[in-house]
Structure formats: structure tokens, C-alpha cells
Chains A and B, each alone.
Chain A
Amino acid sequence: MASTQVNPTRMELTRLKKKLVTAVKGHKLLKDKRDELMRQFLDLVRENMALRQKVEAGILSANKNFVIAKAGMSEQILNTALMAPKQEVYLEADKKNVMSVDVPVFHTKTRTADANDIYSYGFAFTSGDLDGAVKSLADILPDMLKLAEVEKSCQLMAAEIEKTRRRVNALEHVIIPETQQNIKYITMKLDENERSTQIRLMKVKDMMLEEAHHYKEREFVPQ
């Protein structure tokens, strides 16, 4: 596959040999990176699936509770009850480096520490079902935040694994064989050149000796 233009020179040979060493080293490193990323990703994605199933089930039951709560009271009262939330959630996002992939780490802070501050209404006009509904939603919130962190990490790592896999494959199946082929081509060409120079020198030497001593004429001296 020396179809690409390669100069059969010693300088090019040295350059290609260096390139091959780098490629092999890079290939090994990238392969290790891919394997480790894959190991961590598989753990994370299992956690992701478990969390997602839990959160989806939680939200489903919370939604049911909200529908029941809504059925038991008038729309206006419900809207008024939920109009001014007491609680507020602040989110802090740090970055964590996992095998050169930046994944987010979320920390949350609530405005007030009291867990009962989720009820933003007096209990006089609302039904008890609403309290239960709000509570069920509040219970699922920590899992939802964890889900956000894990799912985002999974997405970012999946993209990185895909990229790394492509690089490994390109090195393994294209760059390394091509370089080896080129090195072989140059070595052969250089050897061939050397042989032809040798032969040429031998030939020239013969010719010069012939000119000096006239061997041929002496051989054919008539007796």
C-alpha cells in the first residue's frame, strides 16, 4: 500500500519509524482509556436505569395523588394554594474529571432547612390529599437530582467512548499498518539502491583495470 507518495530516503525512514512508535504507544493508551471508560460507563448506566425506573414510578404515583387532590377541591383554591411557593432550591454544579471527561456533580441547597416548608398554604381550605401529593413529590426530588447527574454523565461518557473507539480503530486498522508498509517499502528501496551502487562500482573497477592492463589483448595474443 505504498500507493501514497513516499520519498525513499533515510530521513523519511527515521521520521516514519518515530511516527510508528508514537502511533503504537498512542494506540495502547487509547485502548486502555476506552476499556476503563467502558467499565465505569457500564456501572453508571446500570445505576441510571435503576434510578430512572424509581423516579418514573415515583412521579407517576405523585401525579395520581395530584389528580385525586384536584378532584377534591376547586381549581381556584388549588391555584391559590400553589401560587406562592415557600421553598426554593439552589443548585451548585461542580465538575468531576472521569478519564478526561468532564461530568457534572450537583449539590443542592434549599432556602429553608425545614422539610415542612414545602406546604405553601394554610391547611384550612385545602384537602388532605394535596398534602400527600406534595409530600410524595418532595420525597422523589433527591432521586430526581441524582438522576440528572447520573444521566448527564452517562450521555457525556457515551459520546467520549464513541470518539475514543473510533480513534483506536483508526490507529489499529489504518495508521499503523500503513506506516509499517511504508517503512518496509523504504527499506527495500534503500537496499535495492545499495546493491545497484555496489554492482556499478564493481563494473567501473573492471573497466578501469581493463583500461590500465589490457587483460583482454594479452589473452588473445596469437601464439
Chain B
Amino acid sequence: MYKIAVVGDYDSIYGFATLGLDTFPVSGRKETEEKLEELAGSGYGIIYITEAAAAECKSVIEKFQEQILPAVIQIPGVFGNTGSGIQGVKDSVEQAVGSDILFSNN
């Protein structure tokens, strides 16, 4: 049985607590990285992370990309959408096909 975590700045994530997801407010690079490592090792199957927080710990997220669990998924925070979630999808197309043939024009 796995749990679901939401990581990011407090204002972006406090709403998710009402749905029954575990929220972990973090700030700063070091704290985010440590929290992510800790969550991955303690039975969380899905970790939603705000795009702003994800930008600070790219290397840790890349490490989890090859593993089947946890799934680290970027979501937009309260300060708006940086587009890095969409970029992640484009990156995986580029990795598989060699160039972005699907979404290059939008």
C-alpha cells in the first residue's frame, strides 16, 4: 500500500490536504532534495511536486525517472505555470524518437 505526497511551497499545496494527500511544505534547494529522497524511501508511490520546487532538484528527479516507483509528477504552483511539465513530456518524445515530432509547433 502506497501513499501520495505533494511537495512545494505552502500556498500552492495546502488545498491538497483536504483530499487526503500528504502535503510537505518545503523551501530552499537543500530541504527540497532531502524531502524528496526521504519520501521516495518511505513508501510514497506518487509524488506531486510544484514546478518551482522541481526546478531546484532536477538531478534527484532524474534519478527517479528510470525507476518504476515513485512517479514524480510536476504540477503548476500558485505562482503560475512555468511550462516545465509540458517540457518534460516533450523531452521524453525527443528521447524516444530523436526529435520532437509531435508537439514542436505548439
Contact residues of A with B, CB < 8 Å?
38, 41-42, 45-46, 48-49, 52-53, 55-56, 59-60, 62-63, 66-67, 82, 85-93, 95, 102-104, 106, 110-111, 118-120, 133-134, 137-138, 141, 144-145, 147-149, 151-152, 154-159, 161-162, 165
Contact = CB atoms under 8 A, between A and B. Distances in A.
A156 B73 CA distance: 13
Contacts, number: 136
Contacts of A42: 102
A49 B76 contact: no
Nearest to B47: A148
Contacts of B45: 91, 93, 104, 106
Main secondary structure of the interface of A (DSSP, over half): helix
Given A48-B89, A93-B45, A161-B95, 14 more contacts: A38-B96, A56-B86, A59-B75, A60-B80, A62-B15, A66-B78, A85-B20, A92-B2, A118-B18, A119-B18, A137-B16, A138-B18, A158-B92, A158-B95
B26 to A, nearest CB: 18
Contacts of A46: 102
Given A45-B93, A56-B76, A89 B17 contact: no
